[in-house]
Amino acid sequence: MKLSPKALRLVCLLLGVMMIVGMFAGCGKSNDVSSNDTSSDDTAASKPDDSGKDKSTAEPVTLKYMTWYPPQNIMNEIIEKFENKYPNIDVKVEINEPGAHCQKLPIALASGEKIDVMGVMVDIAKQVKPYLANVDEVMTKSVGDDWESSFKDGVLDWSKKICESDDVLILPTGSLASPVVYYNATIFEELGLEVPKTVDELKNIIQTIKQKKPDMMPLAFRGKLYWLHSYSAFGLWGQKKPQLLTKVNNGDIKYNSPEVKEMAQWWLKLFEEDIISKDTLDVDNTKVNEIFYGGDAAMLLHGSWMAGLLSKDWREKNGVEIDRIGAFMFPSIEGSEPTTAAIYDVSLGLNKNSKNLDEAAKLFKFILLEEGLDVLVNNFLVFPSKKGYEVDTSNFVDEPGKNGFDALSEGIANPNNPERYLSGATKEFGRVLQAVTLGEDIQKVLDEFQKEFESGKY
Partner 1 sequence: MRVPTNSIKVELPVKQNKKSQSNILGYVFVLPAVAFVAVFIVYGIFFLVKTSFYKVDISFLNPEFIGLDNFKIALADKKFYRSLFNNVVLAAVTIFFCVTLGFLFSVFLCFKLKGTKIYRTLFFVPTLLPNALIAAVFAGMLQYSHGTLNRMLRAIGLDFLAQRWLADPGWAYFSVMIISFYFIGMAMMYYTADLSTISPSIFESAIIDGANMRDMLLRIIFPLLINSHKTVTLTMMLTSFRAFERVFILTGGGPGYSTQITGTYIYSFFAGESAIGNIGFVSTISIFVLIVAFIIGSIQLRAYSRASSQ
**Contacts with partner 1, residue ranges (CB under 8 A):** 9, 12-13, 16-17, 19-20, 23-24, 27, 97-100, 102-103, 106-107, 109-110, 124, 127-128, 130, 217, 223-227, 278-284, 287, 290-291, 296, 424-425, 427-428, 430-432, 434-435, 438, 440, 448, 452, 455-458
HSE-CB of 126 using CA atoms within 13 angstroms: 6
Q: CB 297 → partner 1: shortest distance, Å?
A: 9
Burial 320-350 (b: 16+ CB within 10 A, else e): bebebbbbbbbbbbeebebbbbbbbbbbbbb
Q: CB 99 → partner 1: shortest distance, Å?
A: 4
For partner 1, the closer of residues 33 and 102 by Cβ is 102
Q: CB 375 → partner 1: shortest distance, Å?
A: 25
Cβ-defined contacts of 440-444 (< 8 Å, 24+): 442/261, 442/264, 442/265, 442/268, 443/256, 443/261
For partner 1, the closer of residues 29 and 197 by Cβ is 29
For partner 1, the closer of residues 16 and 154 by Cβ is 16
For partner 1, the closer of residues 296 and 370 by Cβ is 296
| Cβ neighbours around 230 below 10 Å, total | 25
SS3 18: helix
Q: CB 225 → partner 1: shortest distance, Å?
A: 7
* Cβ contacts of 323 within 8 Å, gap of 6 or more: 185, 186
* Distance from C-alpha of 100 to C-alpha of 48, rounded to nearest angstrom: 37
For partner 1, the closer of residues 258 and 294 by Cβ is 294
Q: CB 361 → partner 1: shortest distance, Å?
A: 24
For partner 1, the closer of residues 12 and 397 by Cβ is 12
* Distance from C-alpha of 316 to C-alpha of 311, rounded to nearest angstrom: 9
* Pick from 305, 363, 299, 355: nearest CA to 89: 363
For partner 1, the closer of residues 54 and 440 by Cβ is 440
* Distance from C-alpha of 113 to C-alpha of 110, rounded to nearest angstrom: 8
* Distance from C-alpha of 168 to C-alpha of 158, rounded to nearest angstrom: 9
Q: CB 119 → partner 1: shortest distance, Å?
A: 14
Q: CB 70 → partner 1: shortest distance, Å?
A: 17
